[in-house]
Structure 1
């Protein structure tokens, strides 16, 4: 265990024997301090949307396919011009030092080991450069929380480009922070500096609550910001936090090179729809103009399959990876990805789908069972 400013960080480094990803939650709770765990686990208000995110996958069923004459499904895919060994990616998740002393650096190592795609957050515990270096050349995206100070945004974007990131993810659903009751109950303040903030006027993030962190974030984000970032970086800009076909088309019209369907894991607008429930309508509106990333509530290989079949090109998750990070460091992260990939392989075989492209064309049954 490593102690920083009185906060105990895991320094575990080991492979994990995983039965299923939901079971990791209770195991991680035993070693992550209460405040840090509440920040990672919690949603907004009474967590209704957080719970619906996973429950919504029950609204679609996978059609089994026999006599399909296939074996050994292939999980590899190409998205945004990147060759990936898995369609499952790491969602941009803040402050991973709350879970492990090596934070995002270990996450990057674990994701790289499985041939996946890593997205790092503005509010990372590890710097952009160090996170990129830990990936040892594996593809990474950088997620930008826009600041009110454009020079701050430029500095981050400059660092991201220098580090070799392949795209910018612009988060647009967090102009204010959701009402996060876990943080209020725990009187949570970030005990560990956020590396990307330490050299800028916003301060280092240490000793601040999430509301104070968000106070420096831009609260007015529009189509012109998408264009501005794309022109400044000459990188693809993926707009994250899309929950309606109208917003998806507005983002594409502004020059977005990708759409990221997400409700922030239920951490922002409580009472809004589960991400999976809006994915199909958004995918139909986008109509393959740009790739679609999906997250929120993903815990099973069957969830990944359903999201791909409903229109996603990549499927991201965050919390299960952070729990794996706390329990096993880079090897724990690798174990989480290997487990969900294994579940996905089984589902693909039973559904008669050899490739990820086959999964994208697989039929889903839509039957809503009474709760």
Structure 2
């Protein structure tokens, strides 16, 4: 263990056995301190939308296909002009130092080694530069929590561009923080500074709760902000937090290069729909004009298949990979990616799909049980 400001961080660097991604949560709970674990695992209010994110994947089924004459499914894809070995990507989950002393640095190493896309958060424990360097040139996106202070936005976008990120994910669904009861119960305060904020204020993030962190974030975000970020950064801007076709249209109209369908893992508006339930209608509206990233509730290879068949181009996860990070560092995250890819490839084979394009063309069943 590494101890920082009284907070115990895992420093394990070892391969782990991964039966499935859901099994990692219980094991990680034994390692990550209570406050940190509560922050990572929790949703908002009574976690209703958090729970629906998992249940929604039972609303659609995959047709098994026989006599398809295929073997060795090919999981590779190209999205946003980036060649990837898998459509599975890392969601921009904040403060990964709560799980491991190397935080985002180890996560970036793992995703680079697996040929997968890494997204890092404004509220990362590691700096943009250090996280990018850990990937050794592998593609990464940077997620922006837009600040009320435009000078901060410019400075952090400058750093992201200098680090070589391939796109900016603008989180638009977190203008205020969801009511997260686990953090209140645990009286949770971030024990570790957030590296990207610390450049502007020494110790920034440490000793603050999530509400205090969000207080500096922009509480009004409009289509004009999408245009402004795209023009300033000269990078593709993907708008995250889209849950309706109407908002997808607003984002594309403002010049968004991608749509990110997500309900923030059930951490923001409780009582909203499961992200997967919202995906198909948004994909129909987008109609291939820009790529779609999807997250919230993904835990199985079959979930990845269903999300792609429902209209996604990339499928992101956050919590399970952070649990793997606590359990084994970069090697643990690699093991988790490999297990999910194994499940996904198995599903592709049994569904008679050789390529990602064929997965996207698959029709899902809608039987009621």
- Could you state the TM-score of these two structures normalised by the residue count of structure 1? 0.99
Aligned partners of 1:60 and 1:364 also within 8 Å: yes
Per-residue deviation, 1:153: 0.4
Match of 2:128 in 1: 128
**Residues 287-326 of structure 1 mapped to structure 2, 5 A cutoff:** 287-326=287-326
CA distance, structure 1, for counterparts of residue 296 and residue 43 of structure 2: 11
Match of 2:188 in 1: 188
Match of 2:199 in 1: 199
Match of 1:93 in 2: 93
Give runs of ≥4 in structure 1 deviating > 4 Å: none
**Residues 140-159 of structure 1 mapped to structure 2, 5 A cutoff:** 140-159=140-159
Please state whether the residue corresponding to 2:365 is helix, strand or coil: strand
CA distance, structure 2, for counterparts of residue 103 and residue 316 of structure 1: 18
1:165-214 deviations in whole A, cap 9, x for unaligned? 00000000000000000000000000000000002149610000000000
Aligned partners of 1:128 and 1:159 also within 8 Å: yes
The alignment covers a number of residue pairs equal to: 369
Match of 1:177 in 2: 177
Please state whether the residue corresponding to 1:21 is helix, strand or coil: coil
Match of 1:333 in 2: 333
* 1:270 partnered with 2:270: yes
Per-residue deviation, 1:16: 1.3
CA distance, structure 1, for counterparts of residue 238 and residue 203 of structure 2: 27
CA distance, structure 2, for counterparts of residue 368 and residue 340 of structure 1: 27
Match of 1:361 in 2: 361
* 1:31 partnered with 2:9: no
Match of 2:286 in 1: 286
Match of 2:116 in 1: 116
**Residues 32-111 of structure 1 mapped to structure 2, 5 A cutoff:** 32-111=32-111
Per-residue deviation, 1:364: 0.2
1:269-317 deviations in whole A, cap 9, x for unaligned? 0000000001000000000000000000000000000000000000000
CA distance, structure 2, for counterparts of residue 17 and residue 216 of structure 1: 41
Per-residue deviation, 1:368: 3.6
Aligned-residue Cα RMSD (Å) equals 0.7
CA distance, structure 2, for counterparts of residue 287 and residue 202 of structure 1: 46
Aligned partners of 1:275 and 1:295 also within 8 Å: yes
Per-residue deviation, 1:107: 0.3
Aligned partners of 1:32 and 1:99 also within 8 Å: yes
Where structure 2 has 5 or more consecutive residues not aligned to the other structure, the ranges are none
* 1:232 partnered with 2:219: no
CA distance, structure 2, for counterparts of residue 29 and residue 348 of structure 1: 32
Where structure 1 has 5 or more consecutive residues not aligned to the other structure, the ranges are none
Which is worse superposed, 257-266 or 198-207? 198-207
CA distance, structure 2, for counterparts of residue 70 and residue 224 of structure 1: 48
CA distance, structure 2, for counterparts of residue 214 and residue 292 of structure 1: 26
1:54-98 deviations in whole A, cap 9, x for unaligned? 110000000010000000000000000000000000000000000
Aligned partners of 1:226 and 1:251 also within 8 Å: yes
Please state whether the residue corresponding to 1:192 is helix, strand or coil: coil
Please state whether the residue corresponding to 1:259 is helix, strand or coil: strand
CA distance, structure 1, for counterparts of residue 142 and residue 368 of structure 2: 37
Aligned partners of 1:58 and 1:368 also within 8 Å: no
CA distance, structure 2, for counterparts of residue 54 and residue 340 of structure 1: 16
CA distance, structure 2, for counterparts of residue 118 and residue 243 of structure 1: 22
1:326-367 deviations in whole A, cap 9, x for unaligned? 000000111110000000000000000000110000110112
- Could you state the TM-score of these two structures normalised by the residue count of structure 2? 0.99
1:226-253 deviations in whole A, cap 9, x for unaligned? 0000000100000000000000011000
